[in-house]
Structures are given as structure tokens and as C-alpha cells.
Chain A
């Protein structure tokens, strides 16, 4: 679910007021205010001086990002063969024009070995040849979209102007220098045109948590999870270094598995998305332990095996499972047996995986077997 994290209109005499719920602080300097932008009275900034820009301070809205959608209402007026920056976010993402070609990029692992950022443009990745060129003197709504996991793309006025390009990394959070609109962060690469509106969305980082808590629950189940969370909190506090290590490691494992699945082609991708949708439907309906869920996971795991992905034998996951840190935490948490439906879900997945036992949290045999297999 997208979350709007910054929205400038420049309607009030150009003041960079963020009307998103985050109310990010910003200031404008060195640019020329236009009372009329894309519409009469809509307000816009013209950026042609080397130091002119709108500067948005970094803040919690920009950390984490993972997936972004950046929408910019712009009009190119000045020709240039150099980079003409529409937006640059410190160590995170950017959109610029060069010789009328439109570029979008993010900082992170690239498909090009050794590169520290990855991007696409309307020259090499256009939908047709020659690709889209930003026209002079005409307003356009430019959108750069990165889905956080698998693809990125550029759109103009809602129409794709590049192919959807694969990505190997998520969009990192914005660094301490913040975001510069109309120029790059260091100055010297002004857009050479007008910007009327800026909108930035990210994937809502609380979506998964809301989904998790969206299952209908009786009082006993709520209390069960509250007890579990309190125990977990105490365990994490006791082993803070382990908490960080496990978080980083497991996020990387999940990220790798997700990419591996999405990399298996469009059919697997579609099945993955369908599985998520159906899982969410059953989860929110509270039907997590019945035949529909059983079939969902049996089919999904069988498909993964078919395309060569075996989560249960994934070496990274097994190493994680047998790590000292995880065992320390499990030792503190104890057995989890107060949510019968969740336990049943674990059992049905274990069965689909071919395990005789289920979840390490509520299955001593599973823990012992894991320990034995390590030894």
C-alpha cells in the first residue's frame, strides 16, 4: 500500500509546504517564483540559477523507503547537454534530464557489476525507437516508480515511456543531506525549467504489521500475542547485538528468496502474487488453519520445488536457524502454544514441507532436530 510522504504544490507564494501527513520541513532559495504554473494560480518555481533549489530536510518519512513513486509536474525550458536535475535524494534516488532524455535512478546494487547505483532512461530503455524526449515548453507529469523488489519504470502523463527494468535492490533511505528539488544536492545542475508540484510515496512500512494484526482474534488470542510480544521484547533487550544481527540476516534471506522467486519468470511471479493475495484473504477472514490454507501452501511449495526453489533446505536459512543468536533468543522466549490456529497453520505448512514437526517455537522436537542436524 502506497503512503504519501511528501507533497509540495508551491501554491502559497512558492512556500514549500508539505501537505502530506509528515509535514516535512523545507526551504526554497535562489529560484524564481511563478504565480501561474500548470494552471492559473497554481504556483511554480523556475530553476535556472546554479544554486537555485528547494531543499527538503531528511526525516522519518524517508526512512525506510524500499519502494517509491515520485511524481513531478515539470516544464523544461532551457536546453542543456549537461544533467538537469529535477530531484535528487541523498544516497537514495533521483530523476534528471540530459539532452531531453529522461533518467531515473536509485542508489544500490546494480545489474552492472561493480556499479553502486542503477537506473533507466528513455534512450536505452524506451518503449520505442527513438525513445521519449522531454519537450521544451510543455508541462508533463513525470513518474519514477520502483516497486521495492523487482522492477522500476518511468511514466509520463500516466503512460509508460520505458520498459519495466529488473532491479537487484530496494531504494535506500534518504541520507542526511535530504532532498533537493530543481537542482542537485551540491548545486550546479539546475533543472532549467519549471516545477509546479512534487509528490513522493513509499510502500507503507506498516502494511505487513496491519495485515498480521488484521486477523479476527478473541480476547485469549490477543492476550496470547501480547504475552508473546512482551517476552520477545525482553529477550531482544537482553541480547541487543543478536537482535540486530538476526534482523539484518533474516531480512537479507527473505529479500534473497523473494528475488529468487520473482526471478523465475512471469508465471512464478504471478503465482507468488496470487498466493499473497489469497493468503491475505484467508488471514483477514481468520481461516488460517483450514483446507483452503492447506491447499494454498501445498500448491505453492510444490510449485517452488518445480522451479527449483527449496526453502526448507536453503543453506542460508538453515545456518540462520542454527545460529547461536537464534538459540539464545529461543531459550528466553520458551514455548509458544497459546494460539491454536496459528499453531495449526505452522503444522500444515510443516506437513507441506515434508516435516514431521512444526514450528520451533512450539515444538521441542523441531528444535532438537535442528540442533542435531547442525551437529
Chain B
């Protein structure tokens, strides 16, 4: 059955987000961010070389953005359109809202290694009323929601041609719906714990981050003509770095994925929404400081250890450029030798020993595991200590920064924190407001066409809309860890997370 009332469902399951007192970036209206951003082009590789950015001949400085603000993010609104075609030779668009911290311009001598998150934070403000740009400060405490029914999901899954997604799809009841709340953070601070130095401190630092909380609903329609479908929540998906997160190749550089939890395990608060309306059920979610990972428990949370071959993350941010070298060796190994000979990929450093003769061999024998491949038979050897363990830091219980919640919700008592409502524009199901002749909405779709998307995000088939990065490209960033994030296909992450969650012991 078609979904009767999308705004109704969106309001019914609005989450309650508990932020850390030290958090400086809050979920904000992405449309207002993009309207004030410059759009840069990327032409050529490598993407982390400033000579390939901007609208000038290769290698000519200074580099300039393709489009300067104001940007038009909806048809008929003033400014250059956000969803312009890439054009010949352009590989990617990226937004720059506040420029780079080490050099605001892109010149022959500029570093451009980090996005200017301090500048971003100053314009938005950390508290109420301390932002340098009042309209932007007012755009905080915002989400963008949309819903997928199976008719919308089916062609997306078919296009992926991934049997894992199909497997989940066929297991879903026919009246299922996936409600996605997207949260846009202008910046994401983040570093590596237990490490020293600026490289580690700013390891995960980037502008323009998208996160998601998803609710899988199961519908039941009573027999008879004109009956409304009643939806019940069954699963909750949350982006984070939790140990059991699933990732896709596109999210891996950010060490970011999604987990799914059975709704019966999700703490939530019920809300009476008046006669004839289903009660609200609002999950309580604790947001990690800096990384904006979502968790169902307060206090420090262990994160998924980095993949063994994620060298920079395993070495306190050192040796970032070795990643490309390693990847090259892996490719060469796979293509040159295949499965005919036992190979040790990831071991480019063996070459050091190769060319070291007997001394190299002596040193090579000193490495446990990696060179000789000797494992621990029956637990007789201690495991080597690798990189410092990493944690996400949602707020401690009762000690919060902002608490963003649905209006008229009775929150549990807490010791400290500032409660703020999700926006309301009159009646609860009114999702859109107008400011200075521009439209701003909590829904991606419109009331008339709730499954549509505005031009400032990619269309479902990723052929239209803004498909670029939401923050600056930066130099010395071959893995795009510190580049702005793309708007991911969170529905895909959710389905994979659901598949995994159903199989967890």
C-alpha cells in the first residue's frame, strides 16, 4: 500500500539526540550551507593536488572556484544552480564554505592541507547566539528526512546488482518502509587517541559530514477499501564506528559505517500526539563528540579496529602516502602471480630486507608474523600490541551539551544540558518554511511528491543533482580522509547492516 502521510511518519519517529558538552558542530540545514558555499571543480589526478582544483588552466595560480556564492539550491531561487553538469574533464565538484585553515587561498605557495573548521565553527557558533553569521546559526538543530517504500527501493537495488541487497529485499514484508533522518554537520573534528602530534590530532578532520538514523517500519493494512496502513518500528539503523558496523567501499576512508539494532532493544520515549494519531516513539541516541557517531548508550564506546592494512590509521597518522604504494604492490602481486604462488601482500617493506642481503634477512627474521607468516599455535605467543585503541565519545550519562528533541516531549531528567526542539512551522506536519524568499524543509521530498529529491542532493539514480563532496579537498590526503564527505546511499548501508544484525550471534 502507498504510504499515506510521509510528514506524519517523519514527526512520529523524530529521534532525541544527546550531544557532548564539548561538541562544536551541530546538525544544520544543508541547503543553507550549500547556498553560501563556493563550488570547486576537480580535474585530473591526484585529487589531493591543488593544481587539479578550480577553474584555471592546469598549474596556473591562484586557483579559483568554478562558482562563487550565492548558490541556487532550488529552481527559481537566486544564484548559480547547484546541480550544474560536470562539464568536460571535470571529475568531481566539491564545496568550500570556509576555505582552508592553513591558507585561505589556493596559490603556488599555499599548503591547503586542512579545511578551516575553526572558521566554520565561528560562523555557526557553539552556543545559542554566539555565531558570527546569524542566519547560519539559526539553521542549526535541523534534519532532512525521506522515506523509501519497496517500490522505490527495488530499482535502486536492481541497479546495484548485489545479491546481498536482494537477499534483504526479498526478506522484507511487502508493506515495509525505510524512514531516513539525515543529519548534516558543517564540520567533523577527529583525531587518533593515544597519539602525539598535529597529524594525529587532525587525522579525521574535515568539512561537510552526512550522518543518518534510519527506522525500518513494518506496515499492516486492515482489509477493506480506503483503509490506512499502520506502521510499527522494527529496526533502527545508526551511522557510527561501532565494532559491528558495516561499510561500503565509499565509506571506508572515513572509517564510518552503520549498525542496525532491533527496535525492542532501542530506548525510546513515547509521546501522545492527540486523538486519532499514532503515538510518537522517539529513540534516545547519544552522539559522539567530533565524529558524530550515534550510539544507544552514553559514555565512551569502543570503535571498530582499523583494517590491518589501514597503515596510516594504525601508525598514528604517519606514512599516509605509503597507502598508495601498498595498493600498487597489491595490484601488481595479484595480476603478476595470481594464486600460483603464495604471496604476501601488504609487505612492500620486505623489499627493504631483500636489498639488505644477509643483514636484511636477519632483520626480516626478526619480524614476527609478517614476513615469515608464523602464527600463534595454540596461544603460545602473546599478540603484538598495535596502534592505541580508539574510542568514540558520546556524552556521559546526565552530562550533556545540547539535547535536540521533538516538541512537547517529556525528557528524562538530566544534570546539565540545553534542550532544543526540532523545528516546527505551525502544525506538526508542516515541514517547510520560507526565509527571504527561499524554501527550507525538513523533508527532502515535497508534500506533493514525497519520494522526490531536491537538486542539492543526488537523485536516486545518481544521474542528477549535486553529486560532489560537501567540503574541501585538501592536500596530502590520498585516501580522502580529510576531504568533504559525499552524500552516501544510506539505504544501502542500512540494508547491509540489517543483514548483518540478523546474523549476529
Residues on A lying within 8 angstroms of B by beta carbon are 1-3, 8-13, 15, 17, 19, 21, 23, 25, 27, 42, 63-64, 66-67, 69, 91, 145-151, 153, 155, 160, 164, 170, 172-176, 197, 203-214, 217, 222, 225-226, 229-230, 232-233, 236, 240, 243-244, 246-248, 250-251, 253-255, 257-258, 261, 272-273, 275-277, 279-280, 283-284, 297, 300-301, 311-312, 314, 317, 320-321, 326, 329-330, 333, 345-346, 349-350, 353, 355, 358-361, 366, 370
Do A349 and B504 contact each other (CB < 8 Å), given the known contacts A210-B315, A211-B367, A226-B319? no
**A349 interface neighbour in B359, B378, B385, Cβ under 8 Å:** B359
Q: How far is the CB of A13 from chain B (nearest CB, A)?
A: 8
B414 within 8 A of A: no
Q: Is the CB of A311 within 8 A of B361?
A: yes
Q: Is the CB of A175 within 8 A of B346?
A: no
**B372 interface neighbour in A148, A160, A206, A277, Cβ under 8 Å:** A148
User: Could you list 21 examples of A-B contacts with CB < 8 Å?
Assistant: A1-B383, A12-B503, A66-B373, A66-B375, A148-B374, A206-B314, A207-B368, A208-B367, A210-B370, A211-B369, A222-B319, A251-B344, A277-B381, A280-B367, A317-B361, A320-B354, A333-B355, A346-B356, A350-B359, A353-B362, A360-B357
Q: Is the CB of B311 within 8 A of A206?
A: yes
Do A206 and B308 contact each other (CB < 8 Å), given the known contacts A25-B164, A244-B337, A353-B358? yes
A300 to B361, CA, bound (A): 13
Query: Known contacts A209-B309, A359-B357, A359-B359; can you find 7 more A-B pairs with CB under 8 A?
Result: A64-B373, A208-B370, A248-B341, A314-B358, A326-B355, A358-B359, A360-B356
B439 within 8 A of A: no
Q: Is the CB of A229 within 8 A of B348?
A: yes
B167 within 8 A of A: yes
A15 to B501, CA, bound (A): 12
**A257 interface neighbour in B346, B347, B365, B503, Cβ under 8 Å:** B365
A261 to B361, CA, bound (A): 13
B373 partner residues in chain A, CB cutoff 8 A: 64, 66-67, 148-149, 170, 203, 205
B336 within 8 A of A: yes
Residues on B lying within 8 angstroms of A by beta carbon are 163-164, 167, 171, 244, 246, 304, 307-309, 311, 314-315, 318-319, 321-322, 325-326, 328, 332-334, 336-337, 339, 341-378, 381-387, 496, 499-500, 502-505
Do A172 and B357 contact each other (CB < 8 Å), given the known contacts A3-B308, A147-B376? no
Q: How far is the CB of A237 from chain B (nearest CB, A)?
A: 8
Do A210 and B354 contact each other (CB < 8 Å), given the known contacts A63-B343, A147-B374? no
B378 partner residues in chain A, CB cutoff 8 A: 145, 153, 155, 160, 164
Q: Is the CB of B326 within 8 A of A209?
A: yes
Task: Among B333, B365, B381, find the residue whose CB has the most chain A CB atoms closer than 10 A.
Answer: B365
